[in-house]
Amino acid sequence: MYAGGRPNRWARFLNRISSMVFSLGIVGHGAVSIETVNPKSRTLLTLPLVIARFDGNEYAVSMLGQGSRWVRNVRAANGNAVIHAGRRRPVLLDEVRADARAPILKAYLAQAPGARPHIPVDQSEPVAAFEAIAADFPVFQIRDAE
């Protein structure tokens, strides 16, 4: 459904449905919708996302890597985004350095089973195995914008 890191028609349809359901806040387990704005067209992009919880913090992880549209939008917006799960929550997403991502990626795979086919390290591997791929998968710490 994500050949070349891009969603096909079916994945886009499922993302729309998942975004609507996740935004209601009834799913739990870190399921949210993230809203970003395309800096050129000013169009809103809403996608389903599973928030990783690690070491007392929350993180947004790009399971499709550096080329994800939401990642590009967040970077262009200096980290500004909105997380929606029952209520709209303006947030700042601070990008985590690549050398600090490995344990967060491991925790993310334990919490987001749908991401497992996209990340080329098995969740049962030690944290050291995630270090080799950490630079390829953006991770952002979530902070309240207010």
| Alpha-carbon dihedral angle through residues 71, 43, 6, 100, given to the nearest 10 degrees | 10
In sequence order, the 6+-apart residues with CB closer than 8 A to the CB of 97 are: none
Q: Please, what are the domains in the chain? A: 3-144 (2.30.110.10)
Compute the average pLDDT of residues 79-99. 95
Please tell me the distance from the alpha carbon of residue 45 to that of residue 39, in angstroms, as a whole number.
Answer: 11
Alpha-carbon torsion 97, 98, 104, 109, what sign?
A: positive
Residue from 44, 64, 49 nearest 19 by CA: 49
64 or 97: which leads in pLDDT:
97
Given a cut of 80, is residue 93 above it in pLDDT? yes
Amino acid occupying residue 86 = G
pLDDT, one tens digit per residue, over 102-123 is 999 999 999 998 888 788 999 9
The most distant pair of C-alpha atoms in the chain lies apart, rounded to whole Å, by 42
Q: Which two tokens stand for residue 60?
A: 């947004």
- Rounded to a whole number of angstroms, the distance between the first and last alpha carbons of the chain is 37
> What pTM was computed for the model?
0.87
Residue from 31, 134, 143, 22 nearest 79 by CA: 143
